[in-house]
Structure 1
Amino acid sequence: MILSISTFNQPATAIKQTFFQQVQLPQQEKLNNGVFFPAVLSPNPKNVTATAKTNLLHFIEAIGFQKSWLGDLLQKSGAILFRGFPVESHFDFNDVVEATGFPPMEYVGGGALRAQLFSRVYTANEAPPDQKIAFHHEMAYAAEFPSKLLLFCEVEPEEGGETPIVLSHMVYDRMKQSHPEFVARLE
């Protein structure tokens, strides 16, 4: 897809300040560096246009313009949650993934049964819905594992379905503090 960048005649920093709005949620945790985990970005109400499709194109353009700023925010916070953007289908989500510029990675040899929906978009897991999925490191068993994982919910379940995320190094630090002997045995 070719996108026109003519909708933004401002410097990239102005786009960040006008397109994205950083918000806080009650569930966020403040990290040692004073940054919230996860960082939460929503559309700035001043930039909402008449149609969802136009807003999607603006969102995709803003991601392209703000790769560096978004990368810095991701590095500091560990995760970014985009809330309220008009990503409605796995096709839209694929366009967002492409806009990040992150290199593609194939899902090879994984333990979860997944289906490829389109290009770089796969289902998370085709297991029955009553099965719980424990915290895991995406493809940590592989020699090459992803450094970034993007998630999207196309069909919200009536109940459950949350995807909790944690910062592994913080879990390790807390475990080492509260159960040093156990962590030493694992090491």
Structure 2
Amino acid sequence: MAMAEPNFFAETRLPHQRSYGGVLFPSVVAPGAGVPPPSLPLLTQAIRTQKPYLESLVREAGALLLRDFPVSSASDFNAVVEAFGYEELPYVGGAAPRTNVVGRVFTANESPPDQKIPFHHEMAQVPEFPSKLFFFCEVEPGSGGETPIVLSHVIYERMREKYPEFVQQLEEHGLIYTRG
């Protein structure tokens, strides 16, 4: 297999990106100029060979969106996740009902569609939580279905500004989760 080209990934912009401290959130990459129509094998190879570059985008922005790549099934998505080579963290103790689809791919949440899911830290209530999450949509819903993400440090800073005493109490005493 031919080596992935150095410019396989090109940074791009989306209308709804936000800027925090001069950094766009999320970082977005698409196939680079002059890259032949990307195939799944070329994409996974490029992820492996250019992982330091992709990780630098995640570190800088807090999230990375891969756009316009040939990922159309849960199996394709699993190949992409596997290409990053991160240690697997089993889904144990999470609050959402989920089903394993293939490999590391699980359904996002099987709660009824009318149920709102508030912002949360994935599996924050368990002793070992994931440091990275991957999202993929195989079947786009007719309406809704968005997975909004936020920068935790921005929420923390805003909370500290607006509710300094409350944040100080949390920092001093911690937090206990209760699930009903």
The residue type equivalent to 1:24 in the other structure is R
How much does 1:180 deviate?
Answer: 2.1
Single out whichever of 156-165 and 18-27 deviates more from structure 2.
18-27
The match for 1:36 is 24
The residue type equivalent to 1:184 in the other structure is Q
Distance 1:92 1:35 in 2: 30
The Cα RMSD (Å) is 1.5
The count of residues paired between Structure 1 and Structure 2 equals: 171
The correspondence for 2:14, drawn from 25, 33, 51, is 25
Distance 1:179 1:26 in 2: 31
Distance 1:45 1:64 in 2: 20
Distance 1:185 1:40 in 2: 37
SS in 2 for 1:102: coil
How much does 1:178 deviate?
Answer: 2.5
In structure 2, runs of 5+ residues without a counterpart are 172-180
Is 2:141 the counterpart of 1:157? yes
The match for 1:115 is 99
* Paired-residue identity, %: 52
The match for 1:104 is 88
The match for 1:175 is 159
The residue type equivalent to 1:140 in the other structure is A
Distance 1:64 1:182 in 2: 43
Q: What are the Cα deviations for residues 17-46 of structure 1, in whole angstroms up to 9, with x where unaligned?
A: x211111112212232x3211000111242
The match for 1:55 is 39
Query: Runs of 4 or more off by more than 6 Å in structure 1?
Result: none
How much does 1:139 deviate?
Answer: 0.7
In structure 1, runs of 5+ residues without a counterpart are 1-5
Which structure 2 residues correspond to residues 59-98 of structure 1 after superposition, within 5 A? Answer: 59-98=43-82
Q: Give the structure-1-normalised TM-score.
A: 0.86
